[in-house]
Amino acid sequence: MNFSVFSSPNPILFGTGTSKLTGEKLRALGCAKILLVYDAGIKAAGLVDRIDRIITEAGVETVHYSGVLADPPDWSVEEAAALGKSAGVDGIVGLGGGSALDTAKGAGLLQANPPPISQYFGREGVVTRPSVPIVVIPTTAGTGSEATVASVVVDSATHEKYALMDPALIPREAVLDPLLTTGLPPFITATTGMDALTHAVEAYIGRSNTRETRGMARKTVALVFENLYVAYQDGANVGARANMQRAAYYGGIAFTRAYVGNVHAIAHTLGGMYSVPHGLANAVILPHVLDDYGESVYGSLAELADVVHLPGNTAERKAKAFIRAIRDLNGSMGIPTTIDGILEEDIPLMTDRAFHEANPTYPVPRIFSREDFSGVFHRLMGKSGLHGYAGKMARVDLSTGDVEHFMPQKDDLLKYLGGKGLAAKILFDEFDEKVDALSDENLIVITTSPLNASGTPSSSRFNISTISPLTGLLVSANCGGDFGLHLKRAGYDALVIRGQSPDSVFIHVGEEGIELRGASGFWGKDTSETQEAMGNGGKLAIGVAGENLVRYACVVSAERVVGRGGVGAVFGYKRLKGIVAEGRMRITVPDQDKFKGFNRKWIAKLQKHALTGEQLPKLGTAALVRKMQDRDLLATRNYSSGRFDGFENISGETLREKHLVKNKGCPTCPIRCGRIVKIEGREVKGPELETLGLLGSNLMNDDLPLIIRLNRLCDELGMDTMSFGGSVGFAMELCEKGFWENGLRFGDCGSLEALARQVAHREGIGDVIAEGARRMSEMYGGGEFAIHAKGLELAAYEPRAAQGMGLGYATANRGGCHLGGGYLVVLEGLGFHVDGRQTRGKAAFAVFFQDLMEAASAGGSCLFTTYAVLPSFLVRNPRNPFVRMIHAVFPSFGGLVALLHSHPGALSVNAPGVIPHPYAYKLVTGSKMDIGRFVRSGERIYNLERLIDLRQGLAADMLPGRLTDELQREDDAQSRVLLAPMLKKYYRIRGWDEHGAPTGKRLKKLGL
C-alpha cells in the first residue's frame, strides 16, 4: 500500500469568514446540486446548518449524507456515493475532519466510476473518468487532506486501511476558515495538529523530498510549535487556529510530494485494527520511530531543531532535543506515551501489515525490519519487547505532580543492560550541559535490572543515580534489600524524578499507578519511623541529614543503605521524604526449566566458594579487618598508616563472638553477608567492614559497641558512615595539626554520637563536617591529607599497600570508590596474594575488573557474586607452593588481559561455570549475550559515565598527596601509590587521551 500522492496544490480560500463564499464557489464550478458529506458531531455543532444555508442561498441545491464514520469503511463511502448518484448531484462537499473529507473524496470518485470502491485500493491510475468537482471544508487542522489526492478507506473485511489515489480525487477547492475550527475540543485540536507535524517530519526526513517540500515541512514545523499549544489552550484564538490551518495545508503539500513513512505505516495499521484515531496514533508513535531511526535522522532533525531554536552543540544532541520537544509538546497536551488495548497476539499480524505498507514504497531514512516494527508496537504497549523487564518506566515531576510513562528502545536496553548503565544513559541524554546537584533540573534516576526479581541468586539490588552534591559528578549508588523487587513487581523498571515539590511528599508506586502523597507528618523523623509511617511495600526514606542537605546524606531501604555520594541530599532538596513500591507482577523468562537448572548450579557454586560460601557467610565483610591488618591495608589515623593496634577489638571475629545474633541476607541471596547483632539488649544491624574501618581504625577508635551504635545512628539520621568517618578523620587531623581548632582528637571518640547529630542537623562544627573532606580542605587547608578522590571520601582500604586499589580509587567515575575502581584489592591480599606494592599488570586488571563489575551491577547482580569468578582453590590455600607460584606469575597475564580488552570478539563465548552473569542475562532476556559482549557493555557504561563526568567539569584522576607522595613505610620506596605510570598505561588500554577523556575512535567502537 502506498499513501503518497502526486498533485499540485489546489486553489484555496483562506481566511476568517471565507466559508461564506462556498456557495458562490460552487456556482462558479457549475454545480447546481451537491452532496453535503459530514458526521453527526458536525451536525450537532451547528456547522451543517450554517454551511447548508450559505450554499442554498447561492441557489445550489443540497442533498445530505450524515453517516460519516471515523476511519471510514468502504461500505459507508459506497453508501454516500449511491445517495449522490440517485439524487443526480453534480458536486460533492466534504465538511468536517479527515474522515468526512476522505468519504467525500471516495464518494466523488464513485460518481463517475463503478463500485465497489475496493477495486481502486492502492492502484494508482485506474480511475477512468474524472470525478465531479469536490470541495472540502475542513473543520480540523491536521490531515492536510485538502491538499492531497489521497483518500484513506478501511476494508471492512480485513480491517486494513487502504489509500485511494488518483488525480481525480484532488479537491477542486479547499475552504480554510479558522472560525470553523474554534469549537474543536482541545484534545482533538492537539491530536490533529500532531498529525500535521508528523506529515512534515516524515516528509522532511524521507529520501524523496525536494527543496519545495523541505521548505513546506519547515514552515509546518515552525507553525505547529508556535501555535498548536496556544490553540489547544485557547480554542477561541483565531490567529492560532488560522496558523494551524496553514500548517496542516503546508504539511499536506509536503507529504503529497515527499511521502510519509514508518510512523504512518504503524498508525494506519493501528487505526485499521483498533480504530485508534489517526492523529492520536501519529502523535504517540512519532517520537518512538524517530528514536529508532537513530543516527540516520540526526542531520535532518537537527535542521528542524534549528527551525524551532532548540539548543545542542552536535547534530545528535539537537536531534534528540527535537524528539524531546515532541514528547514535551505531547505531554503538555495530555497525549499519552503509550496506546491502550494493543494485544500481544495481534503484534505479528500488525508487524506484517506495517512492514508491507512501508516497504518498499516509503522513502524512509532507514528501512525498518519486522523486528523494528515489532519493537515499536511493544513500546506502544509500554513494553520493551524483551523478557526480564517489567515493561514501563515513569518520569515523575515533583514540581507539577505530572507522571509520564516511557520505555527506552530495545537497542538501548541491550547496550546498557539496566541498573547503573541505563541510569547513565538516561542522565546522559537528558542534559546538554553541566547540571547542579541541588537544583530542580537534576534527576534522581532509580533503576532496576533484568535479573532483579527473576530468581537468579543475589539479584535483588537496585540503583540510584544522580548528580552528586558531594562531587558534582555522576554518582550511582547501589543497594540490596527488597525495594527493587517491589518496584519491578509494581510494573516499573525505572523512575526518573525531577523538579522540587512545594511541600514534603513521598511517592507511592503501585500496579494501579503512581501518586504523590503528603509527608509533612514525618518530615524531621528518623528513617525507621519514616519507613513505618509510609505503609507496606519496599521502601526508601531519608533522614534529617538528607533534609538538611548534608552532602553525604544517604537513602535507607529497610536496614540497607543507598550510601554514597549524597543521594539523600538530592531527595532532601526535592522535598522527597521517601518512596514506597508494592506490586505482585511476575517477571517471566523464556525457558523456565533451563533457567531453574542454571540457577541451581550457580547457587551451588556460590555456596562452595571460599569467599562467598565460607568467609562472607561466617564473618560478613568484617572478615576483612584481620586480613587488611595483615597486609597493611587497614585505613588508620586518617590513612597515615595501614595498621591499627586495636584492630582485634573491631574484627569480624570479635563481632561474631560478642554480638552476632544471626546472619541476614537480601532476598534470593545464598551468601547472606548481613549481620544482626545484639547490643545493650537490642537487636540491630551489624556494621560492615567499611564502617568498622572508617569509624574505627581511621579515628583510632577500637570501641566496637560505640561503632555499632554509631552505625545505627547514622542509618537513622540518613548519613553515609564512610564519608562521615572520612570527614571526621580529616577534621581530627586538621585539629591536631593546628589548621582548625575544633576540639576533635584521634582516639577521643566519646562525643562522636553527639557529633553525628550535629552534622545531620548542621549545627556548630557539624555544619562544616557536613560539607565533606574536599570542601573542608578548601576552607582550612590540608588538601594533601584530605583523603578523597574527586570529592568522594575513600573506602577503608589504605591503598599504599595495594597499587591496583590506588589506581582504582583514582579512576573510579564516582570518585574514591573501591567498587567502581575494580576492587583490585581482592587480588592484592584479600583473596589472591598478588604483590600489592608492585604495579605490573595492575592497569590491565583494573580495566578488566571495572568493566566486568560495571556490567554485573548493571545486569542486576550483587558484586559479591563476582568474587566467585576467582578460582576457589587459589583463594583457599594461599600458602600452598603451587598457589603461591600462580599468584607470583599472575601479573604477567596483564598483557593478555589488555589484548582481550581491545579484541572482545575473542571472548564471544559463554562459560557459565566461570562467569555466570552474561549467561544469566541471556537466559532471562532471551537476547544474545556472551562474555565478550557483556564486558564490552561494561566498558560502554564506564565510558558513558566518564562522558557525564567530563560534562560536569571533571578535571583529573588524582589522589591526595599523602597517598602518592608520603611513604607508608620509611624503608620501602614502593610504599606509596605510583599513580602516574599506572595511569598512563590505564589510559592507553582504555583508549583515552592523556587527560582521561575517551577518544572519538574509542567512542565510535563502543557505539557511543
Q: Footprint of ligand SF4 on this chain (CB under 6 A)?
A: 458, 480, 665-666, 669, 671-674, 862, 864
Question: For Fe ion, which is the closer residue by CB, 138 or 799?
Answer: 138
CA dihedral 978, 981, 982, 985 (to 10 degrees): 180
Per CB under 5 A, which of residues 533..562 are in contact with Fe ion? none
674 binds, among ligand SF4, Fe ion, none (CB under 5 to 8 A by kind): ligand SF4
Count of CA atoms in the C-beta half-sphere (13 A) of 129: 8
Cα–Cα distance between 216 and 256 in angstroms, integer? 11
Question: For Fe ion, which is the closer residue by CB, 195 or 854?
Answer: 195
Segment interacting with Fe ion (CB under 5 A) among 193-201, 321-329, 403-411, 798-806:
193-201
If one counts every other C-beta atom within 10 angstroms of the C-beta of residue 651, the result is 25
Question: For ligand SF4, which is the closer residue by CB, 451 or 673?
Answer: 673
Question: For Fe ion, which is the closer residue by CB, 192 or 448?
Answer: 192
Candidates 337, 339, 371; CA nearest to 352 is: 371
- Beta carbon of residue 560, minimum distance to ligand SF4 (angstroms, whole number): 8
160 binds, among Fe ion, ligand SF4, none (CB under 5 to 8 A by kind): none
C-alpha 144: how far from chain center = 35
Q: Is 194 exposed, middle or buried (0-12, 13-18, 19+ CB in 10 A)?
A: buried
- Beta carbon of residue 666, minimum distance to ligand SF4 (angstroms, whole number): 3
Question: For ligand SF4, which is the closer residue by CB, 33 or 672?
Answer: 672
Is residue 74 close enough to count as binding Fe ion by CB under 5 A? no
414 binds, among Fe ion, ligand SF4, none (CB under 5 to 8 A by kind): none
862 binds, among ligand SF4, Fe ion, none (CB under 5 to 8 A by kind): ligand SF4
CB 644 within 8 A of CB 629: yes
672 binds, among ligand SF4, Fe ion, none (CB under 5 to 8 A by kind): ligand SF4
Question: For ligand SF4, which is the closer residue by CB, 550 or 669?
Answer: 669
Give residue 938's region: left, alpha or beta (phi > 0; psi -120 to 50). Answer: alpha
557 three-state secondary structure: strand
User: Under rule CB under 5 A, how many of the chain's residues touch Fe ion?
Assistant: 1
Cα–Cα distance between 511 and 581 in angstroms, integer? 9
Question: For ligand SF4, which is the closer residue by CB, 68 or 567?
Answer: 567
195 binds, among ligand SF4, Fe ion, none (CB under 5 to 8 A by kind): Fe ion
Give residue 135's region: left, alpha or beta (phi > 0; psi -120 to 50). Answer: beta
- Beta carbon of residue 664, minimum distance to ligand SF4 (angstroms, whole number): 7
444 binds, among ligand SF4, Fe ion, none (CB under 5 to 8 A by kind): none
Is residue 102 close enough to count as binding Fe ion by CB under 5 A? no
Question: For ligand SF4, which is the closer residue by CB, 669 or 786?
Answer: 669
**Secondary structure element (H or E) that encloses residue 951, with its range:** helix 931-951
Q: Helices 842-859 and 916-925: crossing angle, nearest 10°? A: 30
Question: For ligand SF4, which is the closer residue by CB, 248 or 666?
Answer: 666
Residue 719-738 contact track with Fe ion, rule CB under 5 A, x = bound = --------------------
Strand partners, 34: 62, 91
Is residue 195 close enough to count as binding Fe ion by CB under 5 A? yes
> What does the DSSP assignment read for 243-290?
HHHHHHHHHHHHHHHH---HHHHHHHHHHHHH---HHHHHHHHHHHHH
Which cell numbers in the block locate residue 860?
542486576
Cα–Cα distance between 109 and 270 in angstroms, integer? 26
- Beta carbon of residue 161, minimum distance to Fe ion (angstroms, whole number): 11
- Beta carbon of residue 10, minimum distance to Fe ion (angstroms, whole number): 18
Cα–Cα distance between 405 and 494 in angstroms, integer? 10
Question: For ligand SF4, which is the closer residue by CB, 354 or 451?
Answer: 451
573 binds, among ligand SF4, Fe ion, none (CB under 5 to 8 A by kind): none
590 binds, among Fe ion, ligand SF4, none (CB under 5 to 8 A by kind): none
915 binds, among Fe ion, ligand SF4, none (CB under 5 to 8 A by kind): none
Question: For ligand SF4, which is the closer residue by CB, 656 or 988?
Answer: 656
786 three-state secondary structure: coil
Candidates 377, 240, 419, 202; CA nearest to 853 is: 419
Segment interacting with Fe ion (CB under 5 A) among 192-200, 596-604, 626-634, 749-757:
192-200
665 binds, among Fe ion, ligand SF4, none (CB under 5 to 8 A by kind): ligand SF4
Q: Which residues contact 660 (CB under 8 A, 6 or more apart)?
A: 675, 676, 677, 678, 686
Binding residues (CB under 5 A) for Fe ion: these are: 195
